[in-house]
């Protein structure tokens, strides 16, 4: 089957075209580096099916970041039958720069000229026929977004495959033309594939080429030195070639573009006007902070518009809160959309739980089996389900931010600040993605050039608490407020998110000054035009996320609950633990179970964190729950859900929501508020779920990975201990401050020492050259 | 002769030379900053760094340190 | 044990085994068990998590 590669600049519409061709729904974002690995699909609408590969967006074939290497290597090594070069018509010159490099390969090519409809709106026009003639292969106007001419494009591409194509270059008549020809001949003698392409890269002093063909490289440079009269670039072939390419493009290619009005940068496009405010010198960052706050507020806040402060309104709300729409109102005002949906979901899961219990008891099923179904399975899964709405709301807001192109602006504004922590503004994108799920966030770091900076970023991504950790946050903070009457659930939630961010920044600072030293990667980035995310697209994403969450809940989490239930309801001799009666309720005697004994075994490990030996004999639930988080972070609350029914000795009518279940844990173990907060902190910062661990391992490399695991364990343990000891006893603050001071001094000294060593190394290598 | 990093907001110029080494220089070329290119300084970030320039019909941001490699007239 | 109990036990066993099989099949197809999936992943849309596509140009460091 034929195999075509889609190549083009980031944001040129490549992935949109891929979706149109293959019918997939691969994500299209509006910041550089959305596609960081290749995607494959099949085009089935033509006569012959064709394999389509969507490569990461690249600006040139001399790779600068890991993602660009993927694209280059694919074209050079996998020999696609045709390369479809997608060119953004609204950004012609820069897009064609890549085209001039692609054409140097021995592969059939077709240019897909995208977004000509946007050009038309401005009144600009490209003379496609002339462009086609000058380029030397087919140029097809398409609209990837609307799907216009996509079939025509594929037809021309299939046509092109029939005639094998030899590379051509716009540099043949430039000053370096003869040097290139010589190199080409030399490489052809060496039987190198695509000799023209490699010859030009050689003359350009591309590192990979020079390493592969050192003799030819030297010969080329010697030739240039002797024969080039009037060399304005003084032997700097790299600059000469880049210059020659653009000069050719301007003269022969972009001259086919006629603008309705002369290009005037002072004229602000809509996008530029938006930027005037959003990236304003003084207001830019505050606006960003407000937007962040608004997003979290709409997801988590119970007191939404603070309308309750108006007494009359507050009273009215209080009255209604008793009624059916009690989910929306409460005694002091209105709930935020996130909370409203949460309450609705809770009602639903509670109801189902009740029906299940009643139904099964009505059928007179065995007590143990009823326990298994109602408490073990449904109890666990339901406690997680009720958090789905809030996860979706947060996800929706972040998707809008990402798709609109705003994220690139924020990276731009924050770069200077980020650099103080040793990372470039680029790291901002993966971090924000981490709030959704760590896995794609870690993969997205591939756009960062400096390997050590990238590793450091990958390590701290789990600290940006992903959606799966939200149930832990919400359930425990809600329970703290209810059980101890302290504080405000949303304040605790925000502080925990903040704690994650602060820990990440401090970790970055430490790492970049100790084990991951290096320069922050360069920050040369395109700012794509803003565009409103399509409603349909957004809904598709949301649905996708919801689907995956439900899938996860009813598979992994469900199985985990089954296992947990068995382990907590059976003794080592495979007998059921039996029941104890308290009042007129019967509860499983979990103390005797397998899980309890295992739990009690590891319980002491968590003593410095507040949920270890200082708790009573039921205290093992926290240790076990935290451990279960390795499977999936939602399992922590799901575990509580399963335990709750077994442990509750005085809580009548267990409701299937995370908060009440944590309340039961509190009651039955005697845990206090500081330890609970420490518990949240531990789960936020410790080793993430297996999937994230696998992703991190893939990005960091198997050999070095153990340090990352160690880092996670150490950091979570340390921070949680600090939180607990300071929260519970206050005086340890002094101790920690001393420890921190000593560490800072140690790091500064280490840094000075390493700086000296680095300077010496540099001097030595310069002497060698 | 000025450096790109020294332009004020609203100023334009023509690139005369691109210095620097290795990957950064390469990247500057790839993005269209070549001798003869016309650039326009659109804005600076809230802390003065990075800067945003308009060239060849699109918007690019880069740090002052990177822009300092570019000579403008 | 009542017949209803047997029915429930069998039903649950079937369900659980079914889910486990489903998960194993998913693993074989290379999809992660995360809240993300493969192509359905709302962000990078990357399949094959854990690929070692290392950049040959990268300097090897300690």
Identify all chain C residues contacting A36, using CB atoms and an 8 Å cutoff: 44, 46
Sign of the dihedral through C-alpha A601, A605, A609, A613: positive
pLDDT at A229: 64
B38 burial (CB, 10 Å; 0-12 / 13-18 / 19+) is: middle
Residue-level pLDDT at C58: 32
Specify the 3-state DSSP secondary structure of B40.
strand
> Nearest by CB to A238, which of B25, B47, B66?
B25
A69·C56 Cβ contact <8 A: yes
Task: Say if residues B25 and A385 touch (Cβ distance below 8 Å).
Answer: no
A6, A87 contact by CB (below 8 A): no
Q: C7: alpha, beta or left, given left = phi > 0 and alpha = psi -120 to 50?
A: alpha
Least confident interval from A151-160, A257-266, A446-455: A257-266
Residues A576-599: what's their mean pLDDT?
A: 77
Beta-ladder partners of A143: A148
Nearest residue in chain C measured CA to CA from A68: C55
Task: Kindly report the length of chain C.
Answer: 62
Superfamily of domain A2-161: P-loop containing nucleotide triphosphate hydrolases (3.40.50.300)
**By three-state DSSP, how is residue B19 classified?**
coil
- Cβ neighbours of A238 in B, within 8 Å: 25-26, 29
Contact call for A27 and C45, based on CB within 8 A: yes
Cross-strand partners of A525: B61
Helices marked H in A279-427: 284-300, 311-320, 337-362, 367-370, 380-385, 388-404, 406-420
Q: Which residue of A has its CA nearest to B56?
A: A93
What are the structure tokens assigned to C5, written together? 């109990």
Q: Determine whether the interchain pair B27/A272 forms a contact, defined as Cβ–Cβ distance below 8 Å.
A: no
pLDDT of A44 above 50: yes
**A316 with A359: CB under 8 angstroms?**
no
Residue A164 has pLDDT above 60, yes or no: yes
pLDDT at residue A752, as a whole number: 87
**Nearest CB to A282 within list B10, B23, B46:** B46
* Maximum distance among all Cα pairs of chain C, rounded to whole angstroms: 69
Give me the pLDDT at residue A431, please: 92
Least confident interval from A194-198, A310-314, A403-407, B26-30 = A310-314
Across the interface, of A243, A263, A265, the residue whose CB is closest to B34 is: A243
Amino acid C55: pLDDT: 32
Q: Which two tokens stand for residue A395?
A: 């996800």
Least Cα separation, residue A548 to chain B (angstroms) = 36
User: How does residue A112 score in pLDDT terms, banded at 50, 70 and 90?
Assistant: very high
pLDDT confidence bin for A8, thresholds 50/70/90: very high
Q: How close does chain A come to B55, measured CA to CA in Å?
A: 8
Six-digit token string for A631:
């499977």
CA atoms within 13 A on the CB side of A398: 25
Are the Cβ atoms of A526 and B48 closer than 8 angstroms? no
Q: For the segment A630-656, what is each residue's pLDDT rounded down to a tens digit?
A: 988 999 998 888 888 777 654 444 555
State the SS3 of A133-163.
HHHCCCEEEEECCCCECHHHHHHHHHHHHCC
Give the list of residues 6+ apart from residue A167 with CB closer than 8 angstroms, or none: A103, A104, A105, A106, A107, A194, A196, A197
In this structure, the number of other CB atoms found within 10 A of the CB of residue A693 comes to 20
Stretch among A446-450, A564-568, A578-582, A694-698 having the lowest mean pLDDT: A578-582
Tell me what pLDDT residue A513 has. 85
Q: Which residues of A271-283 are buried (b: 16+ CB within 10 A; e: fewer)?
A: ebebbeebbeeee
Give yes or no for B68 touching A (CB within 8 A).
Answer: no
The three state secondary structure string of A476-525 is HHHHHHHHHCCCCHHHHHHHHHHHHHHHHHHHHHHHHHCCCCCCCCCCCE
CB contact under 8 A, B60 and A280: no
> Would you say the ipTM is above 0.85?
yes
pLDDT in tens, A243-260: 899 999 999 888 888 887
Q: Sign (positive/negative) of CA torsion A359, A363, A365, A367?
A: positive
According to DSSP, the residues that pair with A113 across neighbouring strands are A87, A141
CB contact under 8 A, A433 and C43: yes
State chain A's mean pLDDT as an integer. 85
Q: Evaluate whether A669 touches A624 at the Cβ level (below 8 Å).
A: no
Q: In sequence order, which residues have a C-beta less than 8 Å from that of residue A191 and are 6 or more positions away? A: none
Least confident of A49-63, A189-203, A418-432, C21-35: C21-35
- Residue A48 burial (CB count, 10 A): 10
**The predicted structure's pLDDT at residue A323:** 56
Q: Which of A386, A395, A389 is nearest to A336 (CA)?
A: A389
Domain boundaries, chain C: 1-47
Identify which of A383, A267, A290 has the alpha carbon closest to the alpha carbon of residue A654.
Answer: A383
How large is the average pLDDT for residues A726-731?
A: 88
CA distance A298 to A308: 16
Residues A475-502 have pLDDT tens digits of: 998 889 888 887 778 888 889 999 999 9
Residues 92-151 of chain A whose Cβ lies under 8 A from any Cβ of chain C: none
Distance of alpha carbon A72 from alpha carbon A78, whole angstroms: 10
Under the banding of pLDDT at 50, 70 and 90, the label for residue A174 is: confident
How far apart are alpha carbons B63 and A56 in whole angstroms? 24
Distance CA(A168)–CA(A175), nearest Å, equals 16
CA atoms of A694 and A699, how far apart (whole Å): 9
Average pLDDT score over residue span A54-58: 90
Contact B23 A449 (CB under 8 A): yes
pLDDT in tens, A131-146: 999 999 999 999 988 8
Is A26 an interface residue toward C (CB < 8 Å)? yes
Q: Which has the closest alpha carbon to A408: A437, A447, A462? A: A447
pLDDT in tens, A320-367: 665 556 556 665 566 778 888 888 888 888 888 888 888 888 877 777
Q: Of A247, A279, A282, which has the smallest distance from its Cβ to B43's Cβ?
A: A279
Helix ranges restricted to H, A587-704: 594-602, 620-628, 634-647, 658-669, 673-685, 690-700
CB of A496 closer than 8 Å to CB of A477: yes
pLDDT at A309: 60
| Residue A402 reports pLDDT greater than 90 | no
Which chains sit next to A, with 3 or more Cβ pairs under 8 A? Answer: B, C
Residue pLDDT tens, chain C, 62 long: 677 888 888 888 999 999 999 888 877 765 554 444 433 343 333 333 333 333 333 333 33
Please list the ranges in chain B whose pLDDT falls under 50.
none
Q: What is the pLDDT of residue A326?
A: 58
Nearest to A365 among C5, C46, C55 (CB): C5
pLDDT, position A437? 85
Average pLDDT for residues A267-296, to the nearest whole number? 86
Q: Which residues pair with A582 in a beta bridge?
A: A585
Question: Over the range B16-30, which residues count as b (16 or more CB within 10 Å of their CB) and which as e?
Answer: ebbebeebbbbbbbb
Which chains contact C through at least 3 pairs of Cβ atoms less than 8 Å apart? A
Alpha-carbon span B56 to A94, nearest angstrom: 7
B35/A284 CB distance under 8 A = no
Whole-angstrom distance, CA of residue B31 vs CA of residue A95: 9
Instruction: Kindly report the nearest CA distance between residue A704 and chain B, in angstroms.
Output: 26
Which residues lie below 8 Å from residue A473, measured CB to CB, with a gap of 6+?
Answer: A465, A493, A496, A497, A680, A684
- Is there a contact between C42 and A552 if contact means CB atoms under 8 Å apart? no
Rounded Cα–Cα distance for residues A272 and A274 (Å): 5
Chain C residues near residue A27 by CB distance under 8 angstroms: 41-45
So what's the pLDDT on residue C35?
A: 45
Specify the DSSP element, H or E, that contains A85: strand A82-88
Q: What is the pLDDT of residues A221-246, one digit of tens each?
A: 888 878 776 667 777 788 889 889 99
Beta bridge mates, A110: A84
Q: Is pLDDT at A370 greater than 90 in this prediction?
A: no
| Cβ atoms < 10 Å from Cβ of A261 | 9
**Beta-strand relationship, A39-43 and A525-526:** unpaired
pLDDT of residue B20: 83
pLDDT at C39: 33
Whether the link from the prior residue into A23 is cis, omega within 30° of 0, is no
Determine, for residues C2 and A364 on separate chains, whether the beta-carbon distance falls below 8 Å: yes
Domain extent listing, chain A = 2-161, 177-258, 286-301+354-517+536-730
* Stretch among A65-69, A199-203, A477-481, A560-564 having the lowest mean pLDDT: A65-69
CA geometry: angle A606, A611, A617, nearest 5 deg: 105
Mutation for testing the A interface, residue in B28, B57, B67 having most A CBs under 10 Å? B57
| Confidence band for A382, pLDDT divided at 50, 70 and 90 | confident
Beta bridge partners of A40: A53
pLDDT for res A114 = 94
Contact predicate A77/B39, CB 8 Å: no
Nearest neighbour of B27 by CB, restricted to A64, A243, A281: A64
């Amino acid at each position: 089957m034929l195999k075509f590669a889609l190549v083009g600049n980031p944001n040129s519409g490549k992935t949109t075209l891929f979706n149109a061709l293959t019918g997939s729904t691969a994500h299209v974002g509006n910041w550089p580096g959305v596609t960081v690995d290749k995607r494959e699909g099949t085009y089935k609408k033509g006569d012959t099916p064709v394999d389509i590969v969507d490569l990461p967006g690249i600006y040139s074939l001399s790779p600068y970041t890991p993602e660009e290497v993927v694209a280059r290597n694919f074209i050079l090594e996998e020999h696609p039958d045709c390369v479809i070069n997608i060119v953004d018509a609204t950004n012609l010159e820069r897009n064609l720069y890549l085209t001039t490099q692609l054409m140097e390969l021995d592969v059939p090519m077709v240019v897909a000229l995208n977004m000509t409809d946007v050009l038309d709106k401005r009144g600009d026009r490209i003379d496609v026929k002339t462009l086609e003639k000058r380029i030397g292969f087919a140029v097809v106007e398409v609209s990837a977004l609307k799907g216009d001419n996509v079939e025509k494009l594929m037809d021309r591409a299939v046509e092109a495959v029939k005639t094998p194509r030899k590379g051509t270059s716009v540099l043949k008549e430039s000053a370096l033309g003869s040097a290139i020809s010589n190199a080409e001949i030399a490489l052809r003698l060496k039987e190198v594939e695509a000799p023209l392409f490699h010859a030009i890269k050689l003359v350009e002093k591309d590192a990979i080429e020079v390493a592969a063909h050192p003799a030819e490289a030297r010969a080329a440079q010697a030739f240039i030195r002797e024969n080039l009269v009037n060399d304005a670039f003084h032997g700097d072939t790299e600059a000469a070639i880049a210059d020659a390419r653009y000069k050719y493009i301007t003269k022969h290619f972009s001259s086919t573009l006629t603008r309705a009005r002369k290009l005037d940068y002072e004229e602000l496009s809509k996008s530029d006007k938006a930027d005037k405010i959003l990236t304003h010198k003084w207001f830019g960052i505050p606006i960003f902070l407000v937007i962040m706050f608004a997003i979290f507020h709409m997801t988590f806040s119970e007191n939404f518009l603070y309308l309750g402060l108006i007494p009359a309104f507050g009273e009215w709300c209080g009255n209604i809160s008793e009624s059916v729409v009690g989910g929306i109102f409460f005694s002091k005002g209105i709930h935020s959309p996130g909370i409203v949906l949460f309450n609705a979901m809770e009602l639903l899961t509670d109801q189902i739980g009740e029906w299940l219990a009643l139904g099964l008891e009505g059928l007179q099923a065995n007590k143990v089996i009823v326990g298994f179904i109602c408490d073990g399975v449904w109890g666990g899964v339901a406690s997680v389900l009720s958090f789905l709405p809030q996860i979706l709301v947060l996800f929706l807001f972040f998707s809008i931010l990402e798709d609109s192109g705003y994220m690139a602006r924020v990276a731009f504004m924050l770069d200077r600040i980020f650099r103080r922590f040793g990372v470039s503004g680029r790291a901002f994108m993966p971090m924000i993605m981490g709030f959704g799920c760590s896995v794609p966030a870690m993969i997205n770091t591939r756009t960062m050039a400096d390997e050590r900076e990238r590793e450091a970023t990958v390590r701290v991504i789990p600290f940006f608490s992903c959606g799966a950790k939200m149930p832990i946050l919400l359930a425990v903070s809600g329970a703290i407020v209810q059980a101890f009457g302290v504080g405000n659930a949303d304040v605790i939630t925000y502080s925990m998110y903040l704690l994650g961010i602060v820990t990440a920044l401090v970790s970055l600072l430490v790492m970049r000054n100790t084990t991951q030293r290096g320069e922050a990667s360069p920050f040369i980035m395109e700012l794509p035009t803003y565009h409103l995310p399509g409603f349909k697209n957004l809904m598709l994403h949301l649905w996708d996320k919801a689907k995956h969450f439900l899938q996860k809940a009813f598979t992994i989490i469900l199985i985990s609950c089954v296992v947990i239930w068995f382990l907590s309801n059976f003794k080592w001799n495979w007998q059921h633990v039996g029941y104890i009666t308290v009042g007129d309720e019967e509860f499983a005697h979990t103390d005797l179970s397998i899980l309890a004994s295992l739990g009690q075994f590891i319980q002491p490990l968590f003593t410095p964190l507040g949920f270890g030996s200082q708790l009573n004999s039921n205290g093992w639930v926290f240790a076990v729950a935290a451990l279960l988080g390795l499977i999936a972070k939602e399992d922590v609350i799901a575990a509580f859900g399963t335990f709750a029914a077994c442990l509750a000795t005085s809580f009548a009518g267990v409701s299937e929501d995370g908060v009440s279940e944590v309340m039961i844990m509190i009651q039955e173990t005697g845990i206090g508020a500081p330890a609970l907060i420490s518990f949240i902190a531990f789960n936020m910062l410790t080793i993430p779920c297996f999937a994230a661990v696998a992703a991190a391992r893939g990005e960091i490399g198997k050999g070095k990975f153990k340090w990352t695991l160690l880092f996670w364990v150490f950091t979570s343990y340390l921070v949680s201990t600090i939180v607990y000891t300071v929260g519970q006893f206050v005086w340890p603050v002094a101790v920690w401050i001393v420890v921190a001071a000593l560490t800072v001094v140690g790091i500064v000294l280490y840094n000075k020492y390493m700086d000296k060593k680095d300077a010496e190394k540099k001097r030595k290598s310069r002497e060698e050259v | 002769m000025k450096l790109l990093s020294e332009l004020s907001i609203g100023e334009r110029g023509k690139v005369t030379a691109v210095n620097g080494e290795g990957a950064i220089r390469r990247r500057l070329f790839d993005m269209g900053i070549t001798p003869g290119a016309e650039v326009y300084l659109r804005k600076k970030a809230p802390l003065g760094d990075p800067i945003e320039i308009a060239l060849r019909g699109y918007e690019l941001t880069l740090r002052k340190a990177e822009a300092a490699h570019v000579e403008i007239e | 044990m009542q017949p209803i109990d047997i029915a429930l036990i069998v039903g649950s066993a079937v369900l659980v085994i079914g889910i486990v099989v489903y998960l194993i099949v998913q693993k074989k197809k290379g999809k992660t068990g995360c809240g993300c999936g493969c192509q359905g992943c709302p962000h990078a849309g990357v399949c094959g998590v854990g690929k070692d596509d290392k950049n040959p140009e990268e300097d090897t460091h300690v």
